[in-house]
C-alpha cells in the first residue's frame, strides 16, 4: 500500500496491543476491481480482516467505500480479482453476515419487535428461539421498553439501534456497517459509538465499518484502512494501538488518540 502522508503514524507501545489477532481471516479481497460503465470505482483493492477484528474503512465521499462493502456483502458483482468470506468466494448474501446501512430499513407499519424479528421470520427460525433472540437483542440495545412502539414514535438514534438489532437477530459472525450513524447529530452519534463498542466488546464479532469520521474510526477500530478516490484504492493501513476496553472519556483524552486523529487527517489531506 502506498502512503500519501508525510507524517509518521504513532508508534506501537508495549502492553497496548489491540484485540487478539487469530490467524483466520474472515474477510479478504485481492486485486478487486469494480467499474460502473466507463467509471472505475475500485482499483486493485487488497485487504484482509481477521476473525473478531474491528476494522474501519475511512475515506472521502465518493471514494468507493460503500461499493466495497456491498461487494463484500454479496449485493453487487465485481469485474475482476476476488472477494471471500471465511475462504469462500462472495457470490450472494450470506446468513452469517449482517448488514447495517446509513438509512434504517424499518417497515413503518410494524412495531420495533416485529421489525427486529423480520430476518428471523424470513429464515424460518423456530418461534421460541426467535422470541428469545429478539428479547436478548432488545435488552442489549436498551429497546425493551419500546418493543411495541412504531418507528415514527422513536428518535433517530433509537431507530438506528433497532436497525442494528435487525442485523444482529440472526447472530451473524460478521457485521458490515455502512456509515450507520452518518445521518445523526454529533451527540447521538457519539452515544451510539459507545453502544456499538460495548456490543462488540461483549460479542467480539468481526466488524467492517464504513465511515468518513476520523475520530469514530480511531475510537472504535483495531485497524483503519484509508481510501483515496478516482479510482477508489486503499492508500494506507494504520493499526490503532490503544488499550481495550475503551472508554469515551478516557480513550479520547489519551495523547495517542489525538496523534492517530492528526496522522489520519494528514493522510486524508484534511490537516496540515
Establish if 250 belongs to a structural domain.
yes
Are 135 and 62 in the same domain? no
**Residue-range definition of the domain harbouring residue 272:** 22-96+195-272
- What is the C-alpha separation between 97 and 99, in angstroms, rounded? 7
Cell numbers 465521499 correspond to what residue? 61
Q: How many domains does the chain have?
A: 2
pLDDT at 16: 36
pLDDT band at 11 (very low <50, low <70, confident <90, very high): low
pLDDT at 6: 39
Q: Which residues pair with 174 in a beta bridge?
A: 97, 206
Compare 170 and 30 and report the one with higher pLDDT. 30
- What is the C-alpha separation between 124 and 164, in angstroms, rounded? 20
Are 86 and 207 in the same domain? yes
pLDDT at 108: 95
Are 92 and 202 in the same domain? yes
Are 225 and 236 in the same domain? yes
Are 208 and 270 in the same domain? yes
Compare 102 and 221 and report the one with higher pLDDT. 221
Q: Mean pLDDT check: name the lowest of 78-82, 112-116, 123-127, 219-223.
A: 123-127
- What is the C-alpha separation between 26 and 149, in angstroms, rounded? 36
Has residue 69 got a pLDDT over 50? yes
Are 53 and 107 in the same domain? no
Are 143 and 208 in the same domain? no
Q: CATH no. for residue 206?
A: 3.40.50.300
Are 153 and 116 in the same domain? yes
Are 91 and 106 in the same domain? no
Burial classification of residue 42, based on how many CB atoms lie within 10 Å of its CB (0-12 exposed, 13-18 middle, 19 or more buried): buried
- What is the C-alpha separation between 80 and 214, in angstroms, rounded? 30
pLDDT band at 8 (very low <50, low <70, confident <90, very high): low
Has residue 12 got a pLDDT over 60? no
Are 147 and 162 in the same domain? yes
Establish if 60 belongs to a structural domain.
yes
Establish if 231 belongs to a structural domain.
yes
Establish if 183 belongs to a structural domain.
no
Establish if 239 belongs to a structural domain.
yes
pLDDT at 24: 83
Are 91 and 204 in the same domain? yes
pLDDT at 13: 46
pLDDT at 191: 85
* Per-residue pLDDT tens over the stretch 155-206: 988 998 899 999 998 899 999 999 988 878 888 888 888 889 988 988 899 9
Are 81 and 103 in the same domain? no
Establish if 190 belongs to a structural domain.
no
Q: What's phi and psi for 236, nearest 5 deg?
A: -160, 145
Amino acid at each position: 500500500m502506498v502512503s500519501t502522508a508525510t507524517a509518521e503514524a504513532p508508534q506501537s507501545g508495549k502492553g497496548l496491543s489491540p484485540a487478539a489477532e487469530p490467524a483466520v481471516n474472515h474477510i479478504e479481497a485481492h486485486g478487486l476491481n469494480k467499474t460502473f460503465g466507463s467509471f472505475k470505482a475500485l482499483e486493485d483493492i487488497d485487504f484482509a480482516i481477521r476473525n473478531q477484528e474491528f476494522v474501519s474503512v475511512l475515506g472521502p465521499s465518493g471514494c468507493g467505500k460503500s461499493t466495497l462493502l456491498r461487494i463484500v456483502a454479496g449485493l453487487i458483482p465485481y469485474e475482476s480479482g476476488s472477494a471471500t468470506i471465511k475462504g469462500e468466494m462472495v457470490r450472494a448474501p450470506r446468513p452469517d453476515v449482517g448488514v447495517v446501512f446509513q438509512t434504517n430499513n424499518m417497515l413503518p407499519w410494524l412495531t420495533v419487535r416485529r421489525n427486529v424479528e423480520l430476518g428471523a421470520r424470513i429464515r424460518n427460525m423456530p418461534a421460541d428461539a426467535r422470541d428469545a433472540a429478539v428479547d436478548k437483542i432488545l435488552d442489549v440495545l436498551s429497546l425493551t421498553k419500546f418493543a411495541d412502539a412504531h418507528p415514527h414514535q422513536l428518535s433517530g438514534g433509537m431507530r438506528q439501534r433497532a436497525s442494528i438489532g435487525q442485523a444482529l437477530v440472526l447472530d451473524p459472525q460478521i457485521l458490515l456497517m455502512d456509515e450507520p450513524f452518518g445521518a445523526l447529530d454529533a451527540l447521538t452519534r457519539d452515544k451510539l459509538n459507545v453502544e456499538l463498542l460495548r456490543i462488540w466488546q461483549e460479542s467480539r464479532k468481526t466488524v467492517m465499518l464504513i465511515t468518513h469520521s476520523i475520530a469514530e474510526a480511531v475510537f472504535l477500530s483495531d485497524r483503519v484502512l484509508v481510501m483515496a478516490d478516482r479510482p477508489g484504492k486503499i492508500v494506507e493501513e494504520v493499526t490503532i494501538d490503544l488499550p481495550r476496553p475503551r472508554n469515551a472519556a478516557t480513550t479520547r483524552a489519551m495523547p495517542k488518540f489525538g496523534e492517530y486523529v492528526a496522522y489520519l487527517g494528514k493522510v486524508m489531506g484534511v490537516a496540515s
